[in-house]
């Protein structure tokens, strides 16, 4: 009965992901919906208004502050 050997070409499962790969935003276009979802909130009119105000005050950096 053959035993399975780990594939040497595969990276180990506990490898740390480089910071540059963790951020998906490629430009400066951040929508209020993006900000609400990144904050872990529901898409409600009140939360969307909160996100609009936050984006107006902080710009796209508002999303960066919420993400690791």
Per-residue pLDDT of the chain (68 residues; tens, 9 = 90+): 555 555 556 555 667 766 655 555 556 688 999 999 999 999 999 999 999 999 999 998 899 888 87
- Please give the model's pTM, rounded to 2 decimal places: 0.60
- 59 sits in the region (left: phi over 0; alpha: psi -120 to 50; else beta) called left
Residue 1, classed as helix, strand or coil, is coil
Return d(Cα 43, Cα 12) in angstroms, integer.
37
DSSP state of 24: -
């Amino acid at each position: 009965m053959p035993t399975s050997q780990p594939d040497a070409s595969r990276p180990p499962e506990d490898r740390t992901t480089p910071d540059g790969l963790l951020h998906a935003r490629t430009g400066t276009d951040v929508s209020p919906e993006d900000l609400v979802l990144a904050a872990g909130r529901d898409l409600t009119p009140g939360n969307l208004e909160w996100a609009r105000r936050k984006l107006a005050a902080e710009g796209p950096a508002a999303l960066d502050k919420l993400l690791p």
